[in-house]
Structures are given as structure tokens and as C-alpha cells.
Chain A
């Protein structure tokens, strides 16, 4: 497991490295702008946008080996290729936070993350907060405080709070508001989300009791 072995994996199958992909994007732009083909001389290797790349994603502690187009977002791969539909699609342009996942423990919009960028990173989705069928503490707190209505932004809200609490186990009210401010909720459940975040901090600290 790990980034290096994954990249070797791909290289041995004639795939593209992460660095290679980024270079290819740059070259593509040049080609489009000038009409001059530089692909033959360019190093490292350039792939066509539709060429599939072989990657391994580490999601909720499991490895997933798969072929992806370089342009596919992590959001698309999670939902439509792996069936992890706990991660929701809201805007696909980094505005609403419905697709928030943790990348190496930090909240990140899956719609603005390419699947191949996510290779070698530790990805946690809503499903990854569960222990079997059992809810995690942030999820429990959201239920107790009715911190949602339609529930569609909720996975993203939960991941944002989870990320906040991993970084800051005892956030102040102001820190909670800031931590939740990257996620939109059109039903307007913010006040209950703040309460749930506070409650989740208690639950995570091993303090149960009544909400």
C-alpha cells in the first residue's frame, strides 16, 4: 500500500504518473493554443484525455484498483463507479460542500479533486465513519439534534464536522460556525448543525449522557 507502489504499478502498465498527468494538462493547453504538436518530444509521457489510467484508490481503508479517465473527478468515481452514494453531488464546482470527503483527515470537495490526484491519499467518506451498521459519533449527534431536514447536504456536513473535530477536538462556538461555513444547507438546519457538532465533540471525548 502506498503512493510509490501504486505509481510503479501504473508505470509498468504503460500508464501515467501523477506528475505526468499534470504535465500533460499543461502540454494540452499549449497544443490547443498554438496548434504545434509537442507531444512527441515532451517528457514525461503524455496521454490523451480519453486514455484510461490505472490507479489504486485507498477509500475507507480498502484498496480499489481501477481504470479512470484522467478528467474523472473523485466525486464521479465514488458515486458512479464504486456506488458510494453517501457522498452527494450538489454543484460540481466547489460551492456547496455536499461532496465533502476527508483526504488524509482533512475536509475536501470531491468534485474539485481528480480521482488520479487522490491516488495514494487516504480517503474517508460518510460510509467510512460507520462501524458495520453502527453510526459514528458525529452521525449520532446529527440524529439527536435533528441537524438536517431533507438530508441531502448532510453527508457533507457530517464530514466537515468530522474533519473539524479531528483537527480541533474541542472547538468553540465560533470555530464550529467557521468549520461548518463551507457547506450549504438550503433547508437551513445550521443552528442544529452547530449543536450537533458540539454534542459530537462530547461524544468523541467519551462523554455520553443525555444530549
Chain B
């Protein structure tokens, strides 16, 4: 190029970007080339090679380590803190408490209206923050934490929600430990419904408190650069963390950058900042150093959320033909020491899953001296399912009906619990039950079991149950920016986190589908408030249905601009152009074809940018996923051990975006449900100390490789949802864990004749119940 070449300084006569037309959603795909295929993850290499940098892997040469000093008591007043010894210890660079300048901050607890101090003098649960320390090594920080002398006035506590309303119980907030008025719901007349019933059953159920325990600990690395704060946080949503931290510290949102490219699991416990995030930021400010602060595993058991315990009673009436006439449900729950949704959605399935004209629910939430609840994979639903699905199983037996048929008899055509009875975009509940039963061989297995008398100490049983998930349709807002480079590769910019559900892979597939690109030519930048677009947290099984339509809209916009450039260069009608494997072809004139990198107009422009927005959901319909699960168990009548032999899950979550990651979610959800049903419970010492007794993975037992069935069969049900959104996808991660525990309980009943109404169905518990029955005989 010569120096006097005008193009060196100024170019004209090539296409420039136009403002995207306001969102008309593209039509549903009829045939797909990429979507639905079982493709390995786009970030699989990073995750198996160790090159993925998780927040806890972030490191800086001048980085130091933070630790939180937590209250050892479930209810205590901090009377005096002496940090002088700790401050003089080797490597210690900062010790902060509520009386440190700048650390006297207000903390707003999420999921309610509770507020306290960041370092509150009244510690209302074990593990609440009392002080923060930064030192050169985590060992030195731990030494210093042990040397902080705190004088507590230890107060009486209540850690069992069933005792929180006793007159003698210490009051944590308000007048009597009630969080608020009871949450009530009523339709029809339950008394009339029970009068019409041929059979009425009333049973009490309880689910224990579960802890999320994602593999990566809760925490962050915080680093200041002048007045700008950057936080690498293990989180499901970088934008909510940004809002929380900016809010507490009184900073402009633009000055807080939160990055979370990878994260090691959350399950609902990492939807917002923790006190640890703010403490790390304060320590980094005080020391002028980047601070890495990740809680210890023991601390995460205490203070990073839980699925709260539920004490439920369900009364149900049914006619001989299987018609449900009435459901009456009560629940006592707790979100811990501050408002945090202790009974949230526990009754939703009772309200909405099966057709029933007469329903009454009353849920009471109380305070106890324990760590606060956080959303836990399908909040409330597995608890309610534990009661509802077992009750339906018992009703079916009472009227001598197949439990599958009882459920099929009561399939709702619309959402009964919502005002105006809105219909669903699709309701695959019936198909889930029918196809799941067929895949399992339900009728044959049931027949075989009823005809054979089981001898010996190993007994086989089968069980089933169904579910819906209250949301799962996604929603605005979300913004996506897609850049197509002149060589035909693309860069997708998205704010959402990929929790390991495969979000990034699905989004790359959407781009590949729409633009005819190879997956490996698509690079995704995500989860960074400083560099990627706005997204809400990845939770509620809404990420794929929220983000994928926005990604598709961005891709459609890129395609529109690209084809216009191609039509000009090929001198042909833009309507006839399509893209295949990086080449633009005319369906009418086979000679007219050009590879994307050969487009002169694209080369001159350098890049095509498409912006996609998530449009609104259908105005008068609801988008919910549905599912049905079936399982077979073997029970050792001598030891009470339950072996889950096989599972079938038929889930209707709209379009299957990637069959490989879809099936992985199914396997994972069932595995987690096995934890609720068989192994997991938080144990608090209600007598002497109020402390948690099993704050580790030895005593709090997750399902291991030896606890999962040999076979989990995933049967996707896709009725073709053309109304939910432009990709037809709905959420899967949460619905798939909802009925699992109840399904196992029904199978255990089928095998043993023992109905276990309290989780977990441990060998000891089942053994005692079997012995008690034998004694009564």
C-alpha cells in the first residue's frame, strides 16, 4: 500500500452496522443440524487439563490470605474483642472487626428484609462473622484467628424449629420467633372435598436440613486498583455479587468488577455475595494487597446456606375412581436466624401438580439459631414432593389402583394455583408418566412383583412419582453481543455463568446452528461484569431458556447483516441465501456462492456485531418443566440397607439442546436426590451447645460412587414447545431432582411394607422400623 493511498487513512463505500430491528423472535427451528446432538463441552479441555482457572486458583505475586473469625456459639453477644496478640503474630497484615474504621457496615440478608451489621455484636448463629484477618500465608492467618480473644456473653439458644414456638424458647427476633404471618393458600372447600372422598389419609412427613457443599469452597480473591475493586468470586451470578458488594461498600457499580469464568458448583448457595466477599475486599483495602479468602469446608457447613428442614402434614381425599377431591397441607419450616425463605415453595406441588378442586395450605416460618437458608436446587419442591408423592402412593394402594393410573387420572390442563388459571405452553406431564413407565417396564415389573412371594432377606420394590418445577421458563433481561470476524470465526459475549450445566456449550451450538459455523470457531467470553453483558444469576433452571433465545436473536442479526453483504457482492436476492459450513449459497442460483472469509465487505468492516435481547415470555401462558421418575430398589431386611438398582427419568424440559449434557444433568439430579432420600442430614446439638455436630463430609454423608444405581436411563420428552421462547428450551437442572427421594421411598414401601416418612432413610432408621413391626406381629 502506498503512503498516498487514500484507503490508508479513510475508507468509504462499504456497509456499516445498522441498529437492530426491535426484537421479532425468529420462528422455531424445524430441522436442526447442531442443536440436540450429543456434543462434548466447549470447555471440556480446560476442565480436564487443569487450565481452567477457577476463582480459588487465582493468584498474584503479592497476594495474601484472608480468614474469617466466626462465633463458636449459636447465640451470643460479643462483649469485647482483643486483637492485640493476633496483630503481632508473624505474617499478619490486618485484623478488622466491627470497630475498625470503614468496617462498621450494614449487612442485608438476602431473601427477606433482615438486616444486621457485617460484624454484628449479636451473633445469632454459629459461624457468624466476628473479625477478619489477612496474613502472608493461610497458616499464619489461621494462627492469628486462634489468637483473637473474644469475650462472649453466651445466651440460651433454640436450634430445633419444632421447639422455636415454645414459650420457654429464647426469642431471636420479634415477639415470638414467627418470621411473619402464616403463608396461606385456599381454593374450593376442603371440608366439602373430604366429605366427597371414599378414602381420606392424613400423614405427617419430615425432611431434614441439607447442606449444598459444592466442591469449590465459598470465597473470592479481592484486589484494589485505586478506587476500582476487582473480585474473582466462585459464583452463579457475577452481576448480583457486584450489586451486593457495591451496595454494602457504597461504591458505584461501575467501580466493582466481578469475574467468575469458572466455578466449582453452587446449587443455589452462590447466587449472591457473602460476608466473606466484603471482608476480603476490606482486608485488601487495608493491606494494599490482593487477598484470597475462601472459607474452610467446616465454615461452609455453617454459614453458606442450606435446604431447610420441613415438618409437613398432608391430608388427602380420593374417590374410588381415582379423582382427587381435597388436599390440605401444613408446614412448619425455618430459614435460620434471619429471614431467608424457610418455607419458600414447599407447598407449590400440592397447589399445582395434580388436578384438585379443593386445596388448603398453611406454612409457618420460624427463626432458630442456625445458619440461614439459601435456595437449594428446586427450593421447597423436593420437600413438598416427599409428602405429596408418598401420599399419592398410599392413596393408590387404598383404592387398589396402579399409582401410574392415579396420577394419569389427575393431570391438570392449566396452572390451577395461579390467578386466572393460565394454561401451560406445553404440559408433558402425561407423556412423561406414560413414556417413563414404558421405558421402565412398569406394568410388567408390577405384575411380576405382585405374583411372586419374595423369600429371603433381600426384597425388591419399585416406585414412581412425578413433578413440575414452578418456574424454569427463563425471562428477561439478558443481553448478548455476538461478533463475527472477517475469517468466519465468532466471539460470543454473555454475562451468564456456566455452573457445569453446559451453558456455554449450548450457546455455542445455537450460534453454530444459526450461522453455519464450526463449534471450534466460536469463542465465548462470559461472567465478567467489566467485560461481558448483563445477565441475572444462573439459578432457577432458567439460564438456557433465558440466554439461548437472546443468543439466537444476536446470531439472527449477524446473519441478516452478513447475508446483505453477500447479496450485494454476489448480486443476487438476499432471500435465497443460506449459510452452510462457512459458505454462503443461493438456493436459486447454484453458481452464486462465496466463503465467508472471501467477502470483501466483511473484510473492510472487520467485524459484524449482532446484539440480542431476551424478549418477554408469552403473556397469558406459563412455561413450566415437568417430569416423572421410576426406580427399583433392593432392601436388606436384616441390615436396613437400601440399594438403588436402577432409575428411569422422563423429563419434559422442552427442546433437548445437547443430549450429552442433558443426560449428565439427569444423572446428577437423581444422584443429589439420593442424598436427600438416603444419606444426608444436618445434625445440631439441641441439648448442650446448639452447635453443628457433622460439619464435614465424614459425618455429613454425600452419595458416593458406591451409592448410585448402575443404570440411570434418561427419556427426554419434547412435545415441541413453539410458544415458550425462540429456542423452545426449558430448564432441566432442578426438576430432575424433585421427585427422586419420594420415588425411592415409594419403592422401599413396595419392597418392605414400611412407609418411611422422615428423611434420610438410613439403615439404622429402617432397621428399627422393621424390628418394631416384627415386635408388633
CA of A92 to CA of B56, assembled, Å? 14
CB neighbours (8 Å) of A87 from chain B are: 50
The answer to whether A91 and B697 have CB atoms under 8 Å apart is yes
Given A158-B48, A180-B705, the answer on whether A186 and B213 have CB atoms closer than 8 Å is yes
> Are A190 and B500 interface neighbours, CB within 8 A?
no
Whether the pair B52, A149 counts as a contact (CB closer than 8 A) is no
Are B215's CB and A177's CB within 8 A? no
Whether B500 and A187, one on each chain, are in contact in the complex, defined by CB atoms closer than 8 angstroms, is yes
Task: Report yes or no: A146 in contact with B660, Cβ–Cβ below 8 A.
Answer: yes
Q: Cβ of B52: which chain A residues have Cβ within 8 Å of it?
A: 151
B49 lies within 8 A of chain A by Cβ: yes
Contact status A95-B50, CB under 8 Å: no
How many residue pairs bridge A and B at CB < 8 Å? 168
In the bound complex, how far is the Cα of B99 from the Cα of A111, in angstroms? 36
The 10 A-B pairs at the shortest CB distance, nearest first, are namely: A86-B50, A188-B671, A152-B264, A150-B500, A151-B47, A149-B500, A85-B57, A188-B668, A95-B697, A152-B215
A67 an interface residue at 8 Å Cβ cutoff? no
Which B residue sits closest to A181, measured CB to CB?
A: B705
Bound Cα distance A88, B262 (Å): 13
B contact patch SS: loop
In the complex, the chain A residue whose C-beta lies closest to that of B213 is: A186
B543 at the interface (CB under 8 A from A): no
Complex Cα–Cα for A71 and B57 (A): 21
Q: Is A154 part of the contact surface with B, judged by Cβ < 8 Å?
A: yes
Interface size of A as a range? 35 or more
Cα distance, A187 to B670, chains bound together (Å): 10
Interface-facing stretch out of B38-46, B72-80, B461-469: B38-46
Task: Please determine whether B664 and A146 come into contact, CB atoms closer than 8 angstroms.
Answer: yes
Q: Is B672 an interface residue (CB 8 A)?
A: yes
The yes or no answer to B308 lying at the interface (CB within 8 A) is no
Residues of chain B from 24 to 71 with CB closer than 8 A to chain A in the complex: 40-41, 44-50, 52-54, 56-57, 59
**B41, A150: Cβ atoms closer than 8 Å:** no
Nearest-neighbor residue (CB-CB) of B39 within chain A? A146
Main secondary structure, interface of A, reads loop
- Contact mask A168-181 → B, CB, 8 Å, 1/0? 00000100011011
Interface contacts beyond A152-B265, A186-B672, A188-B672: sample of 11 additional A-B pairs, CB < 8 Å, sorted by A: A91-B297, A96-B697, A143-B41, A151-B47, A151-B52, A151-B264, A152-B500, A158-B48, A173-B710, A181-B704, A190-B704
- Are B704 and A155 within 8 A (Cβ)? no
The answer to whether A85 and B267 touch across the interface, beta carbons within 8 angstroms, is no
Q: Does B612 contact A (CB under 8 A)?
A: no
- With contacts A85-B57, A146-B41, A146-B660 known, is A183 near B50, CB below 8 A? no
Q: In the complex the two chains form, is B138's CB within 8 Å of A76's CB?
A: yes
Residues of A within 8 A of B672 (CB): 186, 188
- Which residues of A lie under 8 Å from residue B499 when comparing CB positions? 149-150
Write out the residue numbers on chain B whose beta carbons fall within 8 Å of the beta carbon of A193: 705
* Chain A CB within 8 A of B723 CB: no
- B664 contacts A135, C-beta separation under 8 Å: no
Enumerate chain A residues within 8 angstroms of B139, measured Cβ to Cβ.
Answer: 69, 71-72, 76
Residue in B52, B53, B665 whose Cβ sees the most chain A Cβ within 10 Å: B52
B residues in contact with A72, CB < 8 Å: 137, 139
Q: How far is the CA of A184 from the CA of B705 in the complex (A)?
A: 8
Q: Which residues of A contact B49 (CB under 8 A)?
A: 86, 126-127, 130, 135, 139
Q: What sequence of 0s and 1s flags, for each residue 136-171 of chain A, a beta carbon within 8 Å of any chain B beta carbon? A: 000100111010111111110010000000000000
Residues of A within 8 A of B265 (CB): 149-150, 152, 186-187
Q: Is the pair A188, B297 in contact by a Cβ cutoff of 8 Å?
A: no
